[in-house]
């Protein structure tokens, strides 16, 4: 009996020792009766970062913004931020955006088994059809965790003061956007850094802790651009491209030389700017719409290809969005002066993509630009955007897998 009690006491002592060693993290060598050794590691693994641990993201012009967790209630102004939300799988968190007419889902519908939640019928719009901007009261009502709106844009175009911005950031949610990288033009006095499509998308992705998705999409974009440029003729053999917006009889030229994400797809495919030598202001210069051209002025330049930005917005024949303005542009082909334009004579007047492009739109719009400018090299452009696999310039399936969180882009 005493012998049994002694053994029991020793077992209790050994058990207590094991518990103590495990608590401090020791590696034990335990031998079995057969002499085999088993390694028992009690070393503690490093603690994983808490999902609620504060983190910060820095971007011009808003500076460093600290988040406790990824935002759940989101407001945007420009449509490129909506595309970024699709890329990082946060589009279902969008409460309100800037403009009802800046909506196009034709690219997303080409991606197999990708669910996207952008619905123009359920979103709230910050700007009325007349162009009138929202006031602070609407932002209070929306109670967003983040506003993807450039505060300097509010200051320049809507007369918001610094105090107004700080009030909303303090009482509702921070601002996090960079608007003037669209044209790489900012007329204010504050320091302002410009970002390309991928840099801007990466900043936003950091807010939602999804930068790996943007990196994977960027690999596809780099590969697409590299493949296109490898097939291009020398610059002196390329067609000259005139980027114009036509509305109410006004022709507004766009420059391809400013940089910025707004015309990045045309730069990516090596487009030659028909307006490079133009001595009048193009869109965005001087903080405004740029100068106006008449038909005689356009005929004097006579671009080989005419492309109208934003014309993917609005269904053909709907009379809505920029598509309606593009259809008015097409009628210039019946004008005595307009019909003399080379682009009308050769059937090379096209609807352009949106300057408000995020990472997903950018891929499709690079392909779109390549086909519109170099159809003999990359196949004819189709207005419905639906190409058979052999005519596609990048892998839709791979993009879809990235958006579903199932794959990266490889090398």
pLDDT at 18: 39
Contact yes or no for 254/308 (Cβ under 8 A): no
Q: What is the pTM of this model?
A: 0.85
pLDDT tens, residue by residue, 213-226 = 999 999 999 999 99
- The pLDDT mean for the chain works out to 86
pLDDT tens, residue by residue, 172-189 = 999 999 999 999 999 888
Task: Answer yes or no: is 7 within a domain.
Answer: no
Residues 39 and 65 in one domain: no
Task: Answer yes or no: is 74 within a domain.
Answer: yes
Residue at a domain's end among 183, 216, 249 = 216
Q: How far apart are CA 85 and CA 117, in angstroms?
A: 10
Residues 207 and 65 in one domain: yes
Of 126, 152, 147, which Cα lies nearest the Cα of 287? 152
The CATH number of residue 84's host domain is 3.40.50.1980
Contact yes or no for 278/315 (Cβ under 8 A): no
Task: Answer yes or no: is 269 within a domain.
Answer: yes
Per run of 10 residues, the mean pLDDT along the chain (length 411 residues) is: 44 42 36 33 38 90 97 97 97 94 92 89 81 81 97 86 94 97 91 98 98 98 98 97 92 89 96 88 66 89 97 87 94 95 97 97 98 98 93 97 84 53
pLDDT tens, residue by residue, 53-91 = 999 999 999 999 999 999 999 999 999 999 999 999 999
% of residues, the chain, pLDDT over 70: 83
Task: Answer yes or no: is 211 within a domain.
Answer: yes
Task: Answer yes or no: is 377 within a domain.
Answer: yes
pLDDT at 248: 86
Residues 40 and 59 in one domain: no
Residues 24 and 135 in one domain: no
Beta carbons within 10 angstroms of residue 242's beta carbon:
27
The total domain count for the chain is 3
Residues 101 and 145 in one domain: yes
Contact yes or no for 23/15 (Cβ under 8 A): no
Residues 236 and 293 in one domain: yes
Beta carbons within 10 angstroms of residue 290's beta carbon:
18
Residues 252 and 377 in one domain: yes
Write out the residue range of the structural domain in which residue 166 sits. 55-216
Beta carbons within 10 angstroms of residue 390's beta carbon:
6
Beta carbons within 10 angstroms of residue 299's beta carbon:
14
Q: How far apart are CA 59 and CA 389, in angstroms?
A: 39
Residues 276 and 168 in one domain: no
Please give the backbone phi and psi of residue 272, each rounded to the nearest 5 degrees, phi first.
Answer: -90, 125
Helices marked H in 282-352: 295-301, 321-330, 342-345
Residues 263 and 371 in one domain: yes
Please give the backbone phi and psi of residue 59, each rounded to the nearest 5 degrees, phi first.
Answer: -155, 140
Please give the backbone phi and psi of residue 25, each rounded to the nearest 5 degrees, phi first.
Answer: 85, 75
Residues 73 and 37 in one domain: no
Residues 70 and 131 in one domain: yes
Residues 136 and 255 in one domain: no
394 burial via Cβ count (<10 Å: 0-12, 13-18, 19+): middle
Of 4, 401, 381, which Cα lies nearest the Cα of 216? 401
Task: Answer yes or no: is 180 within a domain.
Answer: yes
Task: Answer yes or no: is 160 within a domain.
Answer: yes
Residue bearing tokens 């001595």: 279
Q: How far apart are CA 220 and CA 410, in angstroms?
A: 9
């Amino acid at each position: 009996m005493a012998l049994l009690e002694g053994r029991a006491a020793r077992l209790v002592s050994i058990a207590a020792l094991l518990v103590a060693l495990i608590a401090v993290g020791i590696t034990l060598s335990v031998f079995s009766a057969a002499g085999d050794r088993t390694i028992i590691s009690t070393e503690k693994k490093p603690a994983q970062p808490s999902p609620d641990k504060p983190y910060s993201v820095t971007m011009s012009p808003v500076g460093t913004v600290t988040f406790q967790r990824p935002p759940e209630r989101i407001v945007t102004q420009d449509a490129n931020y909506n595309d970024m939300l699709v890329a990082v799988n946060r589009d279902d968190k969008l409460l309100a955006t800037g403009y009802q007419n800046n909506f196009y889902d034709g690219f997303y519908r080409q991606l197999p088994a990708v669910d996207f939640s952008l619905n123009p019928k359920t979103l709230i719009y910050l700007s009325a059809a007349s162009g009138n901007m929202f006031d602070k009261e609407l932002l209070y009502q929306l109670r967003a965790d983040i506003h993807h709106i450039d505060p300097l844009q509010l200051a320049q175009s809507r007369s918001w003061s610094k105090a107004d911005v700080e009030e909303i950031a303090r009482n509702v949610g921070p601002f996090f956007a960079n608007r003037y990288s669209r044209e790489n033009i900012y007329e204010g006095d504050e320091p302002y850094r410009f970002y390309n499509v991928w840099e801007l998308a990466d900043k936003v992705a950091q807010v939602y802790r999804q930068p790996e998705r943007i990196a994977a999409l960027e690999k596809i974009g780099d590969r697409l651009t590299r493949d296109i440029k490898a097939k291009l003729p020398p610059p002196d053999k390329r067609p000259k491209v005139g980027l114009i917006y036509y509305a109410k009889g006004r022709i507004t030229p766009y420059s391809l030389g400013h940089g910025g994400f707004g015309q990045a797809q045309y730069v990516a495919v090596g487009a030659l700017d028909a307006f490079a030598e133009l001595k009048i202001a193009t869109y965005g210069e001087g903080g405004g719409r740029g100068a106006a051209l008449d038909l005689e002025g356009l005929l004097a330049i006579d671009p080989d290809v005419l492309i109208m930005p934003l014309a993917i917005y609005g269904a053909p024949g709907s009379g809505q969005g920029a598509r309606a303005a593009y259809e008015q542009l097409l009628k210039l082909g019946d004008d005595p002066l307009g019909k003399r334009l080379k682009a009308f004579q050769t059937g090379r007047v096209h609807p352009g993509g949106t300057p408000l492009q995020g990472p997903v739109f950018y891929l499709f719009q690079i392909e779109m630009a390549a086909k519109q400018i170099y159809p003999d090299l990359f196949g004819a452009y189709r207005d419905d955007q639906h190409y058979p696999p052999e005519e596609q310039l990048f892998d839709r399936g791979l993009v879809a897998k990235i958006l579903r969180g199932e794959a990266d882009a490889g090398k």
